[in-house]
Amino acid sequence: MFSRKRVLGVAAVTAGAALVLAGCAGGGGDAPDGEPTFNPDDEVTLDLAFWGNDVRAELYNEVIAAFNEEYPNITVNTSFLAFPEFWEKRQTEAAGGNLPDVMQFDYSYLRQYAQNELLLDLDPYLGGIIETDPLPQNILEIGVVNDTTYGIATSTNAWGMFTNPVLLEQAGVEEFAGGDWDEYGDWVAEVTEAAGGAFWGGTDYTGRIQNFELQLRAEGSYLFSEDGEPGFDEERLTEYWESAAPLRDSGAFIPQQRLEETLPLSAFDTAQTASELTWDNFGSGYLGNLGEGYTELGLIAPPVTEEGAKDLYLKPSMLHTISANTDHPEAAATLVNFLVNSPQSGEIFGTNRGLPASETALEAAELDPMSQQVADYEASIADRLGDAPPVPIVGYGTLEEKFRQLGTELGFGTITVEDAVSQFFAEMDVVLN
């Protein structure tokens, strides 16, 4: 479950030096007032890179074929790799100043590439070549770094809580009715007790930095500011990790050793826990892994520290960006608009890239029951949705992984909360400075 984040953490640090070398590479030009300036009769070739598998590659082929019906003179050469290899190749290309014209992009790398001037400023194309009416303002702001738009979100997800209706029925416990984190802890303990050792109410939620972020946002704070300043001190992190100590000590959470034995699947994937706090786009994967006997899951809002808090937010499942070195910025922006906003992209991709961020694409997408549940969930939390935090700081993946590792050690009881806090702040000092 965390392997992708491990890759992000390592790559974010190792890529830094190479990216600095590739900075200040220069761009391919601007389009006045966002209107195309290229001659549609000119023959143009663009390179498009994405991560995924053969299934996603075939979907891209279908979308490009639809694109070429409207823009027959723009040839699009596609290439794809698995997620780790995709970023290794981008790192090499960045060092040589030859990134692809258009790239599928991960949120965790956006600030790093943007600050090293490797990505094209998209603001001149917004409202013109790149349609903005189908994209809500909070979606457009997702791709902004230092007041400049560098990426357009293809799809969104939000933090939520999945529950297992089969296990809850076996335990004879009702769905979590909502409430604060203490009430959630009581519910987890109730499920664990009622299960009699067959399964547990949940996993230690304090091992996820996202749950810490939710609490901070509810208090009017944040994880990290635009300038990389933490919005918490050692006392607040201590309070957070200590808050779950009674549940860890009582055995209300699934034992850490069981979690390690379950990897790479999670305890929720394997029907060992009745709840899981995570991103809402994990639902289809959970259903697939749970297998026969599972046709639906519960998906509800996570606990809230303060009623009325704007602690939740939408983040991009992925974005599209354009290389600062492209020779055809207007044609590249035309392709990005089609990949994000066109009805054809929604109809063909469906939810392969996540729930479409564009209203035009979403209307054209055929949603399976799980995807419709995610769409309904994101609509249901509208009152809790606040502004997205700044694009993740360079090195965020490293800190997220360190947070998870320390949570694991707390689960094993091999480290004290005091030592965990000390280690995290030491790591944070290295990454931020």
> For residue 37, what pLDDT band results from cuts at 50, 70 and 90?
low
Q: Which of 33-37, 399-403, 408-412 has the lowest mean pLDDT?
A: 33-37
Is residue 180 predicted with pLDDT exceeding 60?
yes
Q: What is the pLDDT of residues 184-238, one digit of tens each?
A: 999 999 999 999 999 999 999 999 999 999 999 999 999 999 888 999 999 999 9
Query: How far apart are the C-alpha atoms of 201 and 253, rounded to whole Å?
Result: 7
Domains and CATH numbers, the chain: 3-158+315-380 (3.40.190.10), 159-312+393-432 (3.40.190.10)
Q: Residue 263 — very low, low, confident or very high, per pLDDT cuts 50/70/90?
A: confident
- In the chain, what is the greatest distance between 2 CA atoms, to the nearest angstrom? 71
288: amino acid identity, one letter:
G
pTM passes above 0.95: no
CA angle 307, 418, 397 (to 5 degrees): 70
Condensed to tens digits (0 to 9), the pLDDT of residues 272-306 reads 999 999 999 888 889 989 988 898 999 999 999 88
In this predicted structure, what is the pLDDT of residue 14?
A: 37
Q: What is the total residue count of the chain?
A: 433
Omega before residue 329 within 30° of 0, cis: no
Is pLDDT of 28 > 90? no
Average pLDDT over residues 50-65: 94
| Mean pLDDT of the region 98-122 | 95
**Residue 17: pLDDT over 60:** no
Q: What average pLDDT does range 150-169 have in this prediction?
A: 96
Q: Is the pLDDT of residue 19 over 60?
A: no
Cα–Cα dist 300/424, whole Å = 31
Percent of the chain with pLDDT over 70: 91
